Structure formats: structure tokens, C-alpha cells
């Protein structure tokens, strides 16, 4: 389920032309009083050969666009809860502002491409931010709902990053975020053998388990993983009991990943957005 809590979802599909942003705004309102009733129909309206910026403005509301019972998390629901993505982000140069993504397992598939999430809410219990996107999540609220959706004593997983090779540029970077919720969860586990996740200057509540990370199927390849925490704070930020293989990044590497221009905006697609 995608639940927009703000006003703007920006989908960037084209370059800035002639030094001036060329863009089109289309509107979504589930009541039918706007250009489109559903998010997917609005996205589908953009032609594959598009060369403009497209701003998709969503009227706040709950948009149920999948026929599956993944949300809300209810332990005693009469409907089975199965993995179902609320959003699949697979194109390059996409930015999301003030949007909410809610689910239980596999909420946000950040599949591939450069993406920027600003002031978004992402909620779930198991691998609820996953994929191989090259993404920065800035000032986002990451909500763990393990306490509402899984059996007592279960442990959830916030991320399952899918970096496949040592030369792949992708990673999930959480900058100035807030990790909160109910139950207990691990910051991340590797979906692929070179997974890379970084939490920077973020608030970690006590939902984060003391050991922090899990090697999953790659226990014999932990030297290839890059799971790191830098300048985090809060009751879940104590690293004294973290796994021994948690990465320690140099200042140079840290500056590269947390700097938007360096990591995802080298061609200035974010800084030149027509907001």
C-alpha cells in the first residue's frame, strides 16, 4: 500500500534541456476529480521516450493498488499476510518527497537506478527496504512494525540490499533518519554477496537489536559486506555488541556516500529539479 502523506511525488525521467528545466505536472486524486485515479495509471501515461521532467502530484490519501493482504499488519487477521511490494522503483533518476510506503514484508523494492527519498515514511517488518538501488534516504522515518505483524519473539529485518559485485556502485544510505517502531529488528542482511548499507547521523531506537546486522547466506563472505553506522545516536545505537565484521569506513569513504552530489547527483539531476 502506498499512502501519500504529503503533496509531491517527483518522477524524473528526462534531462534538463538548455539549462532550463522542462517539466509537466500531472495530478492524482482517487475520487476521480483529477487527471488520474491511481498512481500506476499516472506513471503508465508517461511515454517510454519521454525527455521531460514529470512531476506527479498526489492528493493525500490511501492508494490500494494491489490485490494482496500485506497491510495493515494484523496478527489475527482473517486474511493471510504475504510478501507484496507497495512500490517498485526500477528507473534511473527518481525522487520521492513526503511520501509514505506501508507494508509488512518487502514494502519498498528499490530495485535499480539512482533514487532520492526525502522526508518519507517507510514501514514494515521483514526486508522492507530491499533491492539494488543506488539511493539516499534523507530525513526519513523508518518504522518497524514487527510488534504488530509477527509472532511474539520474532525478529525483523529493515534492509536486504542487493549489491552483486565488488565494482557495483549501488548502496542504501540513510542520512539523518529516524528508526523507530515496535518489536525488534536487525538493521540489515545481505540479499546479494556485496551488500552495502550505511546509517549516518541517524536516531536508532531500542527496536534495533544489539548485534545490529545479520550475514544471512553469506557467513563465509562477511569481508565482502559493507554494513556501517556513523555518528548515530539513541538507545539502539550502542555498537559495543555489534557483529565483529561491521565495517569501519574511512572519512573519505564516508564523505563520498553521504554527499548527495558525489553519490547520486554527479550530473545534477537533483539539484536542478524544478521544485
How would you write the chain as a 3-class SS string?
CEEECCCEEEEECCCCECCECCEEEEEECCCCCCCECCHHHHHHCCCCCCCCEEEEEECCEEECCCCCCCCCCCCCCCCCCCCCCCEEECCCCEEEECEEEECCECCEEECCCEEEEECCEEEECEEEEEECCEEEEECCEEEEEHHHHCCCCCEEEEEEECCCCCCCCCEEEEECCEEEEECEEEEEEECCCCCEEEEECCEECCCECCCCECCCCCHHHHHHCEEEEECCECCCCCCCCCCCCCCCCCHHHHHHHHCHHHHCCCCCCCCCCCC
Q: Catalytic: which of 110, 127, 214, 265?
A: 127
**Active-site residue flag, 106:** yes
Whether 92 is a known active-site residue: answer no
Looking at 35, 44, 106, 214, which residue is catalytic?
106
CB 93 within 8 A of CB 12: yes
Greatest pairwise CA separation for the chain in angstroms: 58
CB 39 within 8 A of CB 63: yes
Which amino acids are annotated catalytic?
Answer: 106, 127
Amino acid at each position: 500500500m502506498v499512502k501519500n502523506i504529503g503533496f509531491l511525488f517527483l518522477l524524473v525521467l528526462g534531462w534538463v534541456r538548455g539549462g532550463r528545466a522542462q517539466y509537466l505536472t500531472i495530478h492524482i486524486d482517487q475520487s476521480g476529480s483529477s487527471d488520474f485515479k491511481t498512481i500506476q495509471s499516472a506513471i503508465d501515461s508517461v511515454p517510454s521516450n519521454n525527455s521531460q521532467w514529470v512531476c506527479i502530484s498526489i492528493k493525500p490519501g490511501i492508494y490500494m493498488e494491489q490485490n494482496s493482504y500485506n497491510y495493515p499488519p494484523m496478527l489475527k487477521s482473517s486474511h493471510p499476510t504475504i510478501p507484496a511490494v507497495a512500490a517498485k522503483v526500477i528507473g534511473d533518476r527518481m525522487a520521492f518527497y513526503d511520501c509514505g510506503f506501508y507494508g509488512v514484508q518487502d514494502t519498498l523494492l528499490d530495485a535499480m537506478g539512482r533514487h532520492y527519498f526525502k522526508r518519507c515514511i517507510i514501514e514494515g517488518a521483514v526486508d522492507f527496504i530491499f533491492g539494488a538501488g543506488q539511493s539516499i534516504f534523507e530525513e526519513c522515518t523508518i518504522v518497524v512494525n514487527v510488534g504488530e505483524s509477527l509472532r511474539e519473539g520474532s525478529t525483523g529485518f529493515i534492509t536486504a540490499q542487493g549489491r552483486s559485485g565488488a565494482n557495483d556502485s549501488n548502496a542504501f544510505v540513510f542520512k539523518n533518519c529516524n528508526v523507530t517502531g515496535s518489536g525488534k529488528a536487525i538493521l540489515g542482511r545481505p540479499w546479494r554477496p556485496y551488500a552495502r548499507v550505511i546509517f549516518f547521523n541517524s536516531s536508532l531506537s531500542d527496536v534495533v537489536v544489539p548485534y545490529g546486522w545479520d550475514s544471512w547466506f553469506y557467513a563465509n563472505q562477511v569481508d565482502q559486506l559493507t554494513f556501517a553506522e556513523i555518528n548515530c545516536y539513541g538507545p539502539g545505537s550502542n555498537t559495543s555488541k555489534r557483529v565483529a565484521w561491521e565495517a569501519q569506513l574511512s572519512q573519505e569513504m564516508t564523505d563520498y556516500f553521504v554527499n548527495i552530489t558525489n553519490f547520486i547527483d554527479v550530473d545534477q539531476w537533483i539539484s536542478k529539479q524544478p521544485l
